[in-house]
Amino acid sequence: MMNRIIIYIMFFSFLFPLCGDAQKAAKVKSFTLTNDHIPSSDRRKDLNGALCALVKIQVVDNIERIEGNKIGSIVNRGVEKWVYMCKGSRNMKIHLKNHLPVRVLFQNYKINGLQSNRVYEMVIEIPDAPVASVVSVPQQEQPAEAKLQKMVINYSPANAMVLVDSKPYKSNGSLELQLPVGEHSYIVAAEGYTVYEGTIKLNEYAPGIVSANLIADATVEQKAEETKKNKKKKKNVLGALSVFKKKNDNKKSKPKTEKKEKAPKSKKQKGSHYAQMKLEEQRRETEQTTAELQQTVGTESAVLVAPAVPTAYISTPEAMTPPKALSKSFKYSYDGVMFKCKAHKGYVTITGWNEDALNVTVPSQVVYDGNSYPVTDIDTHINGNNYSAKMLTIQEGIKTIEKFAFAEFRSLVVVTIPSSIRSIGKNAFRDNRGMIFHISGGINEQDLRKGNSIKIK
């Protein structure tokens, strides 16, 4: 009997330490913010429509559940697990299958809150434990090795910037990449050219080839010169029309005075007859010249020279009465993007646009209720939580970019700033490490990258 009791004591004294080892507490070895943004194919949004943050957790164990502001299910990538969380989250609790739960306070790792559309990496360290307590990842959960295929993008001009799956590449007219089989997005852009973008689906049987020949846009200087010439041409035409109108009026009034005079046929009458013939010849020349001028300036001149319209109403576009001052908020669609506008006394500030826009051109004029209004300002902290734009072009005519306007736009690759800009607020492009600036005028790029406030007289 005594021998049996001793055997039981020895058995349980061996068993209890073994179970205790299996439930040892794991700990977080590191938790850091990477330089990566979440690819468009892997993004998730919270209930408010804002882009989530992605926490990639490396741990040799299964995660049973997560406590915190988690969105959707956990993505199992073998040893690495992907957890999507709301912007601003400050802590989480990780329940492991074979170890005690791990509570993580982000501030302990100098992270005051998760940022939207950013990638974080966390490494959880498993303490020494018996081999029996370490759970290996089942074979079926291991991701299959991705099949790669070649993607070729031939493009011109050769100095263009190429983005594939939101990652920028620089080549010399031809780019070759080895990418996993499946769908991939691409953008080809260069200053002074229209943007070329699309998607391609790679298969395992043949490489994918894209040819992108960008079409040149007219430069700002060319457009300004063309506008100046058109205005001068219209001004000359309208001036000529006014002169001909006066001559016609004089011609109509002169015969009336001559009818009252009943002078006998004389040299004087012959002179009057000669003057009348000259007037008739001048009238025919006037009609012919007017017809030619109408063909030159189009239908607008035909309306201006109609007999029923008095000369006083003929005016150039510069002399037109401006639309009534507008003070309200409204939306305006331009180049496939829906802009949010706020008008004050006829001048418009752009406050945002639809969050899925990747290529954004900010217009210098908007139309509301049939009237055109100038855009002078781009608002501070524009667009709230939308940081997905990759290309930004600001049209000539806009004067101010407010402070922190694009401070969180880390996905921006190409930014075009016109010469009309006279003021850029502090940290307008704060996170600009991956940005390429095309700047016209007297703006200093170094000051812009440092976040300095810029004023140009």
Tell me whether residue 4 is exposed, middle or buried, using C-beta atoms within 10 angstroms of its C-beta: 0 to 12, 13 to 18, 19 or more: exposed
Which pLDDT score, from 0 to 100, does residue 318 have? Answer: 37
With respect to CATH, is domain 148-213 assigned 2.30.42.10? no
Which pLDDT score, from 0 to 100, does residue 114 have? Answer: 92
Burial code (b: 16+ CB inside 10 Å, e: under 16) for 262-279 equals eeeeeeeeeeeeeeeeee
pLDDT in tens, the chain (457 residues): 555 655 555 555 545 444 444 456 788 989 999 988 888 888 898 878 889 999 999 888 888 889 988 888 898 877 788 999 998 899 999 988 888 888 899 999 999 889 998 999 999 988 754 433 333 344 444 455 568 888 999 998 888 888 888 788 877 888 989 889 888 988 888 877 888 888 898 888 888 888 888 887 655 456 566 666 666 665 665 666 665 556 556 555 555 444 444 545 454 454 556 666 766 776 676 666 556 555 554 444 333 333 333 333 333 333 334 456 788 899 999 988 899 999 988 899 999 888 888 888 999 999 988 888 999 999 988 876 456 788 889 999 999 999 988 887 878 888 999 999 999 999 988 877 778 888 988 888 888 888 899 998 8
Cis peptide bond upstream of 101, omega within 30: no
Residue type, 419: S
Domain 329-455 in the same topology as domain 148-213 = no
Residue type, 167: K
Of the candidates 210, 207, 215, which has an alpha carbon nearest to the alpha carbon of residue 199?
A: 210
Which pLDDT score, from 0 to 100, does residue 128 have? Answer: 58
DSSP code, position 72: S
Specify the 3-state DSSP secondary structure of 453.
coil
Beta strands in 325-426 (DSSP E): 329-334, 337-344, 347-353, 359-362, 365-368, 371-378, 391-394, 400-401, 414-417, 423-424
DSSP letters, 294-344, are: HHHHTHHHHHHT-TTS-GGG---GGGSPPPPP--SEEEEEETTEEEEEEEE
Which pLDDT score, from 0 to 100, does residue 139 have? Answer: 44
Which pLDDT score, from 0 to 100, does residue 251 have? Answer: 54
What's the start-to-end Cα distance of the chain, in Å?
103
Specify the 3-state DSSP secondary structure of 434.
coil
Give dist(CA 137, CA 133) in Å, integer: 13
φ, ψ for residue 296, nearest 5 deg: -70, -45
Whether residue 383 contacts residue 408, with contact meaning beta carbons closer than 8 Å, is answered with no
DSSP code, position 283: H
Specify the 3-state DSSP secondary structure of 59.
coil
Beta strands in 106-245 (DSSP E): 118-125, 148-156, 161-164, 167-169, 174-180, 182-189, 196-202, 208-213
Give dist(CA 111, CA 141) in Å, integer: 31
pTM check: above 0.85: no
Of the candidates 400, 455, 406, 456, which has an alpha carbon nearest to the alpha carbon of residue 431?
A: 406
Which pLDDT score, from 0 to 100, does residue 194 have? Answer: 81
DSSP code, position 216: B
Domain locations in the chain? 21-133, 148-213, 224-319, 329-455
Which pLDDT score, from 0 to 100, does residue 1 have? Answer: 53
Which pLDDT score, from 0 to 100, does residue 420 have? Answer: 92
Query: Hunting for tokens 């020949």 — which residue is that?
Result: 213
Query: Hunting for tokens 């200093």 — which residue is that?
Result: 444
Whether residue 368 contacts residue 343, with contact meaning beta carbons closer than 8 Å, is answered with yes
**CATH code given to domain 329-455:** 3.80.10
Which pLDDT score, from 0 to 100, does residue 446 have? Answer: 87
